[in-house]
Amino acid sequence: MPRKPNIIVIMADDLGYGDLGCDGGTIIRTPNLDRMAAEGTRFTDFYASANLCTPSRAGLLTGRYPVRMNLAHEVIQSPEDRGLPLSELTIPKALKPAGYASALIGKWHLGHRGQYWPPNVHGFDVFKGLPYSHDMQPLAWFEKDGDAPLTESPVDFPKLTQTFFRETVAFAEANRDKPFFVLLALTAPHVPLVRNDDAAWDSPAGAYGDVVEEIDRNVGLLLDQLKALGLEDDTLVIFTSDNGPWFEGSSGPFRERKGQSGFDGGYRVPFILRQPGTVPAGVVTDAIASNLDLLPTFARLAGADLPPDLELDGKDIGPVIFDGAATPHEQILLFDNTRVAAIRTQAWKLVTRAHYRSLQINLGRFNYPLLFDIVRDPGENYSVASLHPDVVEDLKARHKAAREKYEPMVDLFPPWVRPPIADWHPD
């Protein structure tokens, strides 16, 4: 029986699908991530569970669409008192009975008030990082290790990426004799783009490229340090992003960006896994998957039982990763805030909501089904609805069922009220 794998999930913030060389990027240099992909498995059709920071993180940690927990709408702002409900089973909570030590190192953004804070209340043994994005207040470095009190100190802004990686290696070393889980939630390349001042950066993609190249350099160091600690073969390392790119960055061949509507650019993100000797090397899969799948996948790898009454939206993708199986998903839903904005199947995609100027358009009202052959036309440029009326009818029926199931969940929570404009980000 092999030992339970250590798991490190590196999640960049607002990194685009098209930024990495292994996913087709040609401007930013990412040799270490490209090597990680070559030595592991890369998903081409992997989706964040939302096109924004807060809901995507809620989905990743719980395996459930964030509309279930009042976190689908926008990101949490400092004046708000929303947070990840304590009733939710998170990855660290699920892995704890299997003997795992867990750390959140980096950005939280799932509630900074009252019962929701600090992240340790959600199962993490150690938290070191920031409560929000690094362009929001309070901007301070918080730490809580076990029962020790929460501490707060100034942030060394240019060193954030380097510090997050260093703390991850320290946690791995301190827990090298038992299984561990780290969510390494980077703040880069979300704006502001602040370079580490310890090196001369010269990315042809400017400051955005520099901070991505710094991430890449640190990924290489992390892999080397895990090897030096004798943990390389026992540690599953994953690289992904929380959503598509914002003002800069490339969404690759996909349409739109972070925070827009049902087109892929806001949701489709890199997903690379590496564990030498365990994860097949040099494999590229187009199986559709989502960050909702991490909790059930990790639970099975850890031999952790999940509550039988827990209704998950994610599925165990271990058979896809380790055995080359087809996706377990019949469909993946893409939400724009609380609305079902698109349905992706392995072969097709139906987009039902789009933004135009300041309008959010329900395309169904115009009887204008946007059906895309997502394999042949990944940029979602040409609707083939008139050629495939049967597929349109099937996906419209699934869309109706998904709306009827998920959208009433919004009514279980108080209406979302936009925080005062003075505190609104960005203004």
Q: Taking CB under 5 A as the rule, does residue 53 contact Mg ion?
A: yes
Q: Taking CB under 5 A as the rule, does residue 19 contact Mg ion?
A: no
Q: What are phi and psi of 160, to 5 degrees?
A: -60, -50
Nearest approach, Cβ of 300 to Mg ion (angstroms)? 28
Nearest approach, Cβ of 188 to Mg ion (angstroms)? 10
How is the chain split among helix, strand and coil, in percent rounded to 5? Answer: 35, 20, 50
CB atoms within 10 A of CB 181: 28
User: By Cβ distance, which residue is nearest to Mg ion?
Assistant: 53
Of 14-22, 61-69, 80-88, 163-171, the window that binds Mg ion (rule: CB under 5 A) is 14-22
d(CA 246, CA 236): 29
Compare residues 53 and 289 and give the one whose CB is closer to Mg ion.
53
Nearest approach, Cβ of 106 to Mg ion (angstroms)? 12
Of 51-59, 206-214, 281-289, 387-395, the window that binds Mg ion (rule: CB under 5 A) is 51-59
Is the peptide bond preceding residue 408 cis, with omega within 30 degrees of 0?
A: no
Of 53-61, 378-386, 394-402, 419-427, the window that binds Mg ion (rule: CB under 5 A) is 53-61
* Residue corresponding to tokens 């939302």: 50
> Is 296 within 8 Å of 312 (Cβ atoms)?
yes
Q: Taking CB under 5 A as the rule, does residue 196 contact Mg ion?
A: no
Count of chain residues binding Mg ion (CB under 5 A): 5
Per-residue interface string for the shown chain with Mg ion, residues 223-242, x marking contact by CB under 5 A: -------------------x
Q: What are phi and psi of 356, to 5 degrees?
A: -140, 120
d(CA 156, CA 161): 10
- CA distances to 59, 172, 289, 306 from 314, in Å: 9, 27, 8, 13
> Is 133 within 8 Å of 109 (Cβ atoms)?
yes
Q: With b meaning 16 or more CB within 10 Å and e meaning fewer, what string describes 299-328? A: bebbebeeeeeeebbbbbbbbbbeeeeebb
Of 6-14, 259-267, 385-393, 404-412, the window that binds Mg ion (rule: CB under 5 A) is 6-14
Nearest approach, Cβ of 240 to Mg ion (angstroms)? 11
Q: Taking CB under 5 A as the rule, does residue 13 contact Mg ion?
A: yes
Q: Which amino acid is at 265?
A: G
Compare residues 14 and 264 and give the one whose CB is closer to Mg ion.
14
Nearest approach, Cβ of 107 to Mg ion (angstroms)? 9
Angle at CA of residue 189, ends 133 and 36, nearest 5°? 120
Q: Which two three-digit tokens encode residue 102? A: 């867990």
3-state secondary structure of 135: coil
| Catalytic annotation present for 109 | yes
Nearest approach, Cβ of 13 to Mg ion (angstroms)? 4
Catalytic residue among 22, 73, 109, 329: 109
Q: Which of residues 111-150 bind Mg ion (CB under 5 A)?
A: none
Beta strands in 16-69, from DSSP E residues, in sequence order? 41-43, 46-47
Of 5-13, 18-26, 229-237, 385-393, the window that binds Mg ion (rule: CB under 5 A) is 5-13
Compare residues 40 and 66 and give the one whose CB is closer to Mg ion.
66
* Residue corresponding to tokens 């031999």: 303
Catalytic residue among 53, 112, 122, 399: 53
CB atoms within 10 A of CB 408: 10
Handedness of CA 160, 162, 168, 173 (dihedral sign): negative
Compare residues 50 and 101 and give the one whose CB is closer to Mg ion.
50
Nearest approach, Cβ of 244 to Mg ion (angstroms)? 9
Compare residues 100 and 263 and give the one whose CB is closer to Mg ion.
263
Start-end of H helices in 318-415? 318-323, 389-406
Q: Taking CB under 5 A as the rule, does residue 264 contact Mg ion?
A: no
DSSP state, 335?
Answer: E
Compare residues 14 and 313 and give the one whose CB is closer to Mg ion.
14
Nearest approach, Cβ of 53 to Mg ion (angstroms)? 4
- From the list 14, 88, 210, 234, which residue makes contact with Mg ion (rule: CB under 5 A)? 14
Q: Taking CB under 5 A as the rule, does residue 345 contact Mg ion?
A: no
Compare residues 90 and 243 and give the one whose CB is closer to Mg ion.
243
- From the list 41, 243, 260, 383, which residue makes contact with Mg ion (rule: CB under 5 A)? 243
Whose CA is closest to 55, among 107, 110, 12, 114? 110
| Residues classed as catalytic | 53, 109
Residues that bind Mg ion (CB under 5 A): 13-14, 53, 242-243
